A and B are shown apart, each in its own frame.
Chain A
Amino acid sequence: MPVPPGLVIAQQLPDLLLPPKLRRGVLGFLRSNPTVAIGGALLICLALIGIFAPYLGTVDPTALAPAKRLRAPSADFWFGTDLLGRDIYSRVLYGARVSLAVGLSVALLASLAGLAIGLVSGFVRLADSIIMRFMDGLMSIPPILLAVALMALTRGSVGNVIMAITIAEIPRVSRLVRGVVLSLRDQPYVDAATASGTRTPMIILRHILPNTLAPMLVQATYVCASAMIVESILSFIGAGTPPTIPSWGNIMAEGRALWQIKPYIVFFPAAFLSVTVLAVNLLGDGLRDALDPRMAKSL
């Protein structure tokens, strides 16, 4: 078509941006969320260390060798030995099992229980006021104190530690779930589902539950981190894991008296604990940023 005089055809402008590279699948998700990748990788490493502790050049972590006690870190004893001559390297590696087991179990159990309680109190008005007052009561006791008190009722074992910390963590999770449920109940799509004849259990299952999972998952990582710290504290003050099972808390407790002359006894378990908690928190922060409900596809 001829161009009339006085008119200029607009020229094609170059695109401002390069064509996007579509990142799909788990790898794509990890590449666009490096925090999750780093936290997750660290955590997986620690889990592998815990699982494969017997094959990583360790000796029996409970074997006493009074002749070799309080050796500084060396080629034979990588992290040194403690007051009773036990190999700290082996003890720290086996200790990872306790910390991770407690952290993960508490996160799982507290999430499940909190989810159930939160859903009930978000949906049943009568139950809500009763349950939430009870939870307020539990929350008014510092979690560590509550866990110590609960441990005082039973004998020290990893299972009891998990139960005690779980009970102390449940109120936080159930409050979160309840809040999310209350806000979701007023969402138009829940009304729309009711208007198309969906039954209440189905609404909870299809419309409420999936939308609580993202905030739940994030909260679960924080619960996990907090549980590992509480476990160490309990072991440290002697109210948690029994001394026969090495855990980072009781290794530190035993090294405490010698802190000024033999700092490595405390240093290694403390370093592992810090790195583990850091990894879990990184994972949590990354997930929080990534798991906007609109990113649900990445799940």
Chain B
Amino acid sequence: MALLEVQNLQTHFRTPEGINRAVDGVSFHIEEGETLAIVGESGCGKSVTAMSLMRLIPEPPGKIAGSVRFQGRDLLQLSEREMRDIRGNDISMIFQEPMTSLNPVLTVGRQIGETLRMHQGFDKQAAEARALEMLTLVGIPEPARRMREYPHQLSGGMRQRVMIAISLACSPKLLIADEPTTALDVTIQAQILQLMLDLKRRVGAAVILITHDLGVVAEIAERVMVMYAGRKVEEAPVVELFRSPRHPYTQGLLGAVPKLGSSLTGSARRLAEIPGQVPSLKQRIDGCAFAGRCPLATDLCREVAPGLEEKGPRHIAACHYAAKAAAAA
């Protein structure tokens, strides 16, 4: 049985202008210890998917439907109280903004200890000892001194290390990392990713990594799910996806990654991009959501939404012309 099995997840928001279908029927699963990346451009529903798994969407104006089975239990059916026991204990989350994700008036050690005292019933001393251990584990120099410091005394990279320490303190089964490195500079990004991978192995947690950075995906994910306009458009093991993307959107994404040394030579002086914009999610989209921007789109695409089909080994994509797209790539 998979650790997490998401079936037909829908998260809609009621707005004055209409219903926003931020996540519209997404299904996926993740095995124990696996690393799954969810990629897509801004506004495609990646973060909302993550928030929905944790039931952190305010209801109303939001509404979550479908099923999210975690270790066989449907999280969407649990009471708020049962859900609280899961958050931070079995499933934990790292956010994008290390600068503001820590409470400015509490010491770092206190904030790490808090989850332990809450979920694992540690007393003050035990929580402090474990917090110190976690700080050492995430590679913060002089952990004993840093324990007593406040978030503003730490750099961005160190704060994200602290966030990782908090999220892994209770040895969760699943870690959801929502763009954990976006706010950090490149050299720190690599260190943080490496750290996450190391600790994940040690703790034995599965990771859902949400990102728009394909470099990060190639580096640490095992499987990739590509989202577009609130739907899953392609899913494949990472090597397979990079080698033979089947969906034109995935191809566009991969094509838009600048390559070192190629920018100023040849005909491609401009960075590649996908023309057009993500369609508004407030109108129901009948055909393929990507049709308006797709070089291969036909009338069929605009009228009938393509279903997810097996296009290769463990490789599924939602495109009427996946074969043609693969040939063109």
Check if A195 sits within 8 Å of B87, measured CB to CB: yes
Instruction: Decide yes or no: A196 and B88 within 8 Å by CB, A191-B95, A206-B114 being known contacts.
Output: yes
Binary contact readout A179-214 vs B (1 if CB under 8 angstroms, 0 otherwise) = 000000001110111111111001000110011000
Check if B106 sits within 8 Å of A206, measured CB to CB: yes
Check if B152 sits within 8 Å of A188, measured CB to CB: no
Total chain B interface residues with beta-carbon distance under 8 A? 29
Binary contact readout B163-188 vs A (1 if CB under 8 angstroms, 0 otherwise) = 10011000000000000000000000
Check if A211 sits within 8 Å of B103, measured CB to CB: yes
Chain B positions within 8 Å of A189 at CB level = 100-104
Chain B positions within 8 Å of A293 at CB level = 104-105
Check if A197 sits within 8 Å of B101, measured CB to CB: no
- Give the interface of A toward B (CB within 8 A): 187-189, 191-199, 202, 206-207, 210-211, 293-294, 296-297
**Besides A211-B103, A211-B105, 14 new A-B residue pairs in contact (Cβ under 8 A), listed by A number:** A188-B95, A189-B100, A189-B103, A194-B56, A195-B88, A196-B88, A196-B92, A196-B115, A196-B167, A197-B115, A206-B114, A210-B103, A294-B104, A296-B150
Closest-CB distance, A226 to chain B (whole angstroms): 27
The answer, yes or no, to whether B293 is at the interface (CB within 8 Å) is no
Instruction: Give the number of residue pairs across the A-B interface with Cβ within 8 Å.
Output: 74
Chain B positions within 8 Å of A187 at CB level = 100
Looking at chain A's contact residues, is the secondary structure mostly helix, strand, loop, or mixed?
helix
Check if A296 sits within 8 Å of B95, measured CB to CB: no
Chain A positions within 8 Å of B100 at CB level = 187-189
Instruction: Decide yes or no: A198 and B150 within 8 Å by CB, A188-B95, A210-B105 being known contacts.
Output: no
Complex CA gap A207/B86 in Å reads 20
The 6 A-B pairs at the shortest CB distance, nearest first, are namely: A196-B88, A197-B87, A197-B88, A210-B105, A195-B93, A188-B100
Chain A positions within 8 Å of B97 at CB level = 188
Closest-CB distance, B109 to chain A (whole angstroms): 14
Chain A positions within 8 Å of B211 at CB level = none
